[in-house]
Structure formats: structure tokens, C-alpha cells
Structure 1
Amino acid sequence: MAQSLSNFADLIRSVEHSAVHLETRDVYAIPDEDEGFAAWQQGHRLDPDDRASWWRPWLDLVQEVTAKGVVVRRARIVSEPVSEYIRYEHSFTFTNVAAGEEIRWLPRRQASDLALPGNDFWLFDGNLVQFNIFDGDGGWVHTDQTDEPAVARLCTRAFEAVWERAIPHEKYAIN
């Protein structure tokens, strides 16, 4: 079961300044109805000139919030060599960038000395944290939210430490 985009859309639309996302997994479960991964495995790649074929409604939402001045940043910590899923994700990340997200990649070996929360998270305006809880196979289980100041500070420090070391998407090559 995936988190409802409509609920998340309402949340991210309420942001005034920033939304940051830290991803730490090498694999996320792909729903059975998602044909994109199978097509990618068979050689299909998104066409940079065919924006209509890109992932909707997420990219529309990113464009909407960044157009009002919200900074949306995503950092991904990945093992190297990368998993097949990360190769897939990297192949279409240009669409997120085109929509207005800033994205960086950090090889996991460069994160060994960083204090990081145990789960992926979104941090909204530096004060509301949404942890995304996944099972061992990468399937979304549920979401925990907190506005506890100490947790928000921990997540802010963790994200900024990763961001500082991470490689901008345009410069991160997968071999």
C-alpha cells in the first residue's frame, strides 16, 4: 500500500519555505500495476523531450510548489555498485530536476561517520518531520509524523550533513 498522494499533496502545498527528503534505501518496492520498471528493464528510457510521458501527478506538484518559491531538495544515500532499482531511479531523475527538485547522491561509504535517523524522511519548513516506514522488501508500511523540536533538529542536521557531501545529480555517474 502506498501513501496517498492527495494527502501528501495537501501537506507539501502547505509548505512555505522548504521541503527536504532523505532516502536511504537501495530498493523500494514497485507496485504490481507499475509497468515502468519492467519497461526500463527491457530497454525503455524516458524521452527528455516528451514531458507528457513523465510521472504525473508528482512532477506537476513539484512544479506547483517550487513556482511559489518553495525549495525542494532530495538526497539519496546509495550503496555502490548501485542496485538495479537505483539504476532505474537514476535514469529518470532528470524529470525531477526539470520539475524543480534539487537532487544529490551520496555513496554510502561516504556516510559512515554521519549520525542519521533510522528511516527515510521528509522535513517540512524545518519543523515537521514525516518518517516513511518500509518493510524489509522496500514496501511502504506507514508514515509517522512529529513536530517534536529535537527530532526536527536531528533531521535537519542529518540532511544538511548528507547534502554537503553529496554529488549533484548532473555530476553523479553510474557505471
Structure 2
Amino acid sequence: MSQQLPPFAELLAQCTTSAVHLETRDLYATDVEDHDLKAWRAGELADVSDRSSWWSWFHDAVADAVARGVAVQRARVVSLPATEYIRFEHACTPRNLAAGEDVRWLPRDQALGLLLPAHDYWLFDGQVVRWHHFAGDGRHLRDELDERPVSADHAGKAFAAVWDRAVPHAEFVLD
């Protein structure tokens, strides 16, 4: 595994075909002052059509990649009934879609039989994995770059298996 960790936007900018993201946690710790989470809790999340209120460097990076022909896909494996944080993510997903991501959801009970990694990750062009390490309470600890072909192969197969079973965002209803 490589010790250097290029910024996410740089890795995405180098992609030529695909960038896929697998998320498997029901809780991601956010700063207690997170503006969007507070707004969502208050029923005041900015409308997706008002890009100036939510568009960020991340959305720029995704939109640029998609404009170059890179398929950007995100699959979320979630427990139902959903946690508050997953409900928040679901409400914010139209932002990902507006940037050009394709997002699908898989209820955890429908993931039975799939061999999934213990960590969330991004897989770039089917070759480079950026593993995300989290604490049990959802705090992000660090990321790790992995360029081993076997890791990329396993990550690609795991993502494809989830993607095949997952439901497109527009069709997915939280219970």
C-alpha cells in the first residue's frame, strides 16, 4: 500500500473511465455545527435548484469527471429502518445526482450472501482503492491508498455485486 495520499479531487481528476464509491455504514459522524444537518433537522435544507447554497469543490470534481465521460457511481448499503444520518443522506442525494453521480441504495437485509469489505472506499478506474477508516462512533480516522491489483479486483467485484441488487435513488423509499 502506498504511503502518499493524493487529495480526492486529484484522484478523480486522473480518472478516465470510472469512479465508484461503496458506503456501508449507518452513521457517519459530522461536526455538531454542520450547517446542512442542522438545516435538514429544522426542515430547511436548501433546495437542490439553489446551487449557490450547497455546491462545493466535491460537486465540481464530480461534474468535471462526468463531463469527461467518467461514470461516477455511489452505492449505499443501509439498515432499515434507517438511522437519522441515513435519512439526512437520502435527503441530500439529489445534490449528488445534480453533479452527475448515479446513486443506488441496498437495504442491508438484501445484501445477504455478498462478500463486502470491512471499509467504505472509492475505486478509481478499477485500479486504485481509497479505503476510508472510521471509528465505531462514525468519526473518520484516516484514508489509505491501495494500488494492489488484488484489492482493486475485490473492491470492484464487491461494488458490482451491490450495484446489481441496489435500487436507483429515484425508486428507493426509506421505511
> Shorter-chain TM-score category?
over 0.9
Gaps of 5+ in 1: 1-5
Matches within 5 A, 1:94-133: 94-133=94-133
Partner Cα separation in structure 1 for residue 72 and residue 103 of structure 2:
9
Partner Cα separation in structure 2 for residue 48 and residue 140 of structure 1:
26
Corresponding residue for 1:3?
Answer: none
Kindly state the Cα deviation for residue 38 of structure 1 after the two structures are TM-superposed: 1.4
Kindly state the Cα deviation for residue 58 of structure 1 after the two structures are TM-superposed: 1.2
> % of aligned pairs identical?
48
Q: Which amino acid aligns with 1:18?
A: S
Partner Cα separation in structure 1 for residue 71 and residue 11 of structure 2:
15
CA-to-partner distance for each residue in 1:112-166, whole Å, 9 max, x for gaps? 2100111001100101111000001111101111111111111111000000000
Matches within 5 A, 1:1-175: 7-175=7-175
Q: Which amino acid aligns with 2:62?
A: V
Partner Cα separation in structure 1 for residue 157 and residue 133 of structure 2:
20
8 A contact 1:46–1:92 mirrored in 2: no
Q: Which amino acid aligns with 1:29?
A: A
Partner Cα separation in structure 1 for residue 32 and residue 42 of structure 2:
16
8 A contact 2:36–2:45 mirrored in 1: no
* Secondary structure in structure 1 of the residue aligned to 2:131: strand
8 A contact 1:129–1:151 mirrored in 2: yes
Consecutive aligned runs of 4 or more in structure 1 exceeding 3 Å deviation: none
Aligned pairs, how many? 170
Normalised by the length of structure 2, the TM-score is 0.93
C-alpha RMSD of the superposition: 1.2
Partner Cα separation in structure 1 for residue 49 and residue 36 of structure 2:
18
Kindly state the Cα deviation for residue 48 of structure 1 after the two structures are TM-superposed: 2.7
Normalised by the length of structure 1, the TM-score is 0.93
Q: Which amino acid aligns with 2:38?
A: A
Partner Cα separation in structure 2 for residue 128 and residue 73 of structure 1:
15
Gaps of 5+ in 2: 1-5
8 A contact 1:80–1:107 mirrored in 2: yes
Q: Which amino acid aligns with 1:68?
A: R
* Secondary structure in structure 2 of the residue aligned to 1:133: strand
Kindly state the Cα deviation for residue 49 of structure 1 after the two structures are TM-superposed: 2.1
Partner Cα separation in structure 1 for residue 61 and residue 52 of structure 2:
14
Kindly state the Cα deviation for residue 32 of structure 1 after the two structures are TM-superposed: 3.4
